[in-house]
Amino acid sequence: MSIIVTGGAGYIGAHVVRLLQERGEDVVVVDDLSTGRADRVGDATVVELDVAAGDAQERLERVMRERGVTGVVHFAARKQVGESVQRPAWYYQQNVTGLANVVAAMEAVGADRLIFSSSAAVYGMPDVELVTEDTPPRPINPYGETKLVGEWLIADAQRAWGLRAASLRYFNVAGAGWPELGDPAILNLVPMVLDRLARGERPTIFGDDYPTPDGTCVRDYIHVLDLAHAHLAALDHLDRDERPASVFNVGTGQGASVREVIEEIGRVSGLDVTADVAERRAGDPPRLVASADRIAEVLGWRAANGLPEIIASAWEAWQAGPRRIG
């Protein structure tokens, strides 16, 4: 019996692969290696494959049959909001067609457990203190739309043929579970601040006139290792229940502002993190913080780490990489 982790060579995927290996599961990584790296997955078999390709369903079925696959953790997708606005059709091809190929292959071989990487981006700009899974999803960009459509497809497959699935709506993922598994991309706040510091530049704050306590945007930062553990909890849950609740926020219930994150980076690194304030970035909600009650109640999962652990681990991973500061 094996588990396929699509996108397993990526930032979050590699953490899940390692946790699955630690508990003795046989893992097959399916990854196009466009952003992932095969050296992140230990001794897992790597099948180089774009899940959105024309022959992907057939190739996935073959791997599933050969390896006796019973479940899939599906990360493989594009995740850049700005790029999704520029290239909507490509985002639908990659994220929606890719998922459809995975689900079709699962149906064909009778593999019926799926964990889907969804996103808080499905909520758009909710005007609430804590976002629950019942907050109406209103994505404001193609990236968020593709994740919501993915959830719908999964719900339809649950009804049609008994797919057992959980969609995990990630909030702001950061940190590293192991120093060599840090986020290799410079696309989010923590790596963007570290990148500026590595260049000897000041961090940038995109707007400090939001209706929040210090004027900067508030987010729910979740340690990537906690997030990875949530995937294992969800997989185990699918084993226990016939018709599980299928959508879960993965966050901490605690918000941190951009300024607080930057200050924590200064505290951990000892660097001067005096920031420049720039214009607001289009599409940023002032506040996006999860209610993490459902996942605690149903899966028994809670984040073990807070902002200090997230930033300390991100710093350690950065310093273990090629662009060490100081």
Please identify every residue annotated as catalytic: 143
Closest contact distance (angstroms) between CB of 245 and ligand UFG is 21
Query: Contact at 8 Å (CB) between 297 and 253?
Result: no
Name the token pair of 303.
Answer: 């984040």
Helix (H) or strand (E) holding 41: none
Taking the C-alpha atoms of residue 135 and residue 215, their distance in angstroms, rounded to an integer, is 24
Piece of the chain touching ligand UFG by CB under 6 A; list 46-54, 178-186, 201-209, 240-248 = 201-209
User: Do 9 and 41 form a contact (C-beta atoms < 8 A)?
Assistant: yes
Q: How far is the CB of 26 from ligand UFG (least distance, A)?
A: 30
Span near ligand UFG by CB under 6 A; candidates 14-22, 36-44, 110-118, 204-212: 204-212
Q: Which of 115, 258, 312, 317 binds ligand UFG (CB under 6 A)?
A: 258
In this complex, which beta carbon is closest to ligand UFG, that of residue 112 or of residue 318? 318
According to CB under 6 A, which one of 179, 206, 267, 309 is a site residue for ligand UFG? 206
| Total interface residues for ligand UFG by CB under 6 A | 18
Which residues 126-155 are close enough to bind ligand UFG by CB under 6 A? 143
Contacting range for ligand UFG; rule: CB under 6 A; set: 6-14, 93-101, 113-121, 242-250:
113-121
Q: Which two tokens stand for residue 57?
A: 């369903």
Distance CA(250)–CA(123), nearest Å, equals: 13
Q: Provide the minimum distance between the beta carbon of 276 and ligand UFG in the complex, in angstroms, as a whole number.
A: 10
Q: Sheet containing 26-31: give its strands across.
A: 45-48, 26-31, 2-6, 69-74, 113-119, 164-170, 247-250
Q: Please identify, among the stretches 37-45, 58-66, 116-124, 224-232, the one whose residues bind ligand UFG according to the rule CB under 6 A.
A: 116-124
What are the φ and ψ backbone dihedral angles of 224, each rounded to 5 degrees? Answer: -60, -30
Task: Name the one residue in this structure whose structure tokens are 């702001």.
Answer: 172
118: contact with ligand UFG by CB under 6 A:
no
* Residue 77: CB minimum distance to ligand UFG, A: 10
Among 100, 157, 205, 225, binds ligand UFG (CB under 6 A): 205
Cα Rg of the chain, angstroms: 19
Angle between helices 258-269 and 189-198 (to 10 degrees): 50
